[in-house]
Amino acid sequence: MSEVRRRIREALANLDREGLLEALREALGSGVDVDAIVFEDMSWAMDEIGRRFETGEYFLADLLYAAEIFKEAMRILEPYMARKHSDRRSRGVVVLGTVKGDIHDIGKSLVATLLRLRGFQVIDLGVDVPPEKFVEAAKKHKPLIVGLSALLTTAIPSVRETIAKLREAGVPARIIVGGAALSEKTAKEVGADLYAENAVQAVKIVEKTMRGG
């Protein structure tokens, strides 16, 4: 890995806004592959931020600040991604949201960004989303996949309720869940079809599912 890519990872993980923006501009100016920056370096750093939150090193305010830094960085990167993938057609619709009772946006937003960059149409419902809103969006947009995010363990009942409501409404989409509150075991317990440990894995699972895998 190049020195500038290492700096990108460390700056974002350490919430160093100026250091990150400087490293990004240097990397782009020197021809570093934008896909590697987004799907490897930025994703690694966001996972590291989540880990630090789980261990108590970072707090909610840090997560919110990290989300702001990430979005600012993506405003720089997205034009490069758009030029690189200008001929890409929509690969399908995905509905995403953080469930009711949870206001954490960072992981879900990362998944949404990565999916969009891979050519998917993403309907991002935001945070603290009630089950009825998921059902309404699924009926309107007819996605092949609905993604539910939960960082707080107290939001697990909301995940279970949302999945139950989607099933009751006859929504045919496959349901993927992720976030710090969930594991492969709890994903099965709440009735999800798929589970992703992190954002990059979520994208890979969505792509495989869209191909019929």
- How do residues 32-84 score in pLDDT, each as one tens digit? 999 899 889 998 998 898 889 878 999 888 988 998 898 899 899 988 887 87
**Phi and psi for 30 in degrees, rounded to 5?**
-100, 5
Record the pTM: 0.78
- How do residues 88-143 score in pLDDT, each as one tens digit? 666 899 999 999 999 888 889 889 988 987 889 999 999 999 999 999 999 999 99
CA dist., res. 139 & res. 119, Å (int) = 22
Residues 102 and 197 grouped into a single domain: yes
CA dist., res. 35 & res. 13, Å (int) = 18
Q: What is the CATH number of the domain that holds 66?
A: 1.10.1240.10
Q: Could you tell me which of 65, 40, 68, 36 has the C-alpha nearest to residue 52?
A: 65
> Under a CB-based contact definition with an 8 Å cutoff, are residues 112 and 122 in contact?
yes
DSSP assignment string, 103-136: ---HHHHHHHHHHHHTT-EEEE--SSB-HHHHHH
Residues 28 and 104 grouped into a single domain: no
% the chain with pLDDT above 70: 97
Q: Could you tell me which of 86, 118, 99, 116 has the C-alpha nearest to residue 177?
A: 99
Residues 59 and 143 grouped into a single domain: no
**Of 54, 84, 114, at which residue does a domain stop?**
84
Residues 99 and 201 grouped into a single domain: yes
> Under a CB-based contact definition with an 8 Å cutoff, are residues 195 and 183 in contact?
yes
pLDDT at 90: 67
Residues 140 and 166 grouped into a single domain: yes
**Of 35, 65, 84, at which residue does a domain stop?**
84
Residues 101 and 192 grouped into a single domain: yes
What's the domain range around 58? 3-84
Domain tally, the chain: 2
> Under a CB-based contact definition with an 8 Å cutoff, are residues 25 and 61 in contact?
no
Residues 100 and 205 grouped into a single domain: yes
Residues 118 and 198 grouped into a single domain: yes
CA distances from 15 to 10, 18, 133, 169 (A): 8, 9, 33, 42
**Of 84, 116, 145, at which residue does a domain stop?**
84
**Phi and psi for 149 in degrees, rounded to 5?**
-115, 140
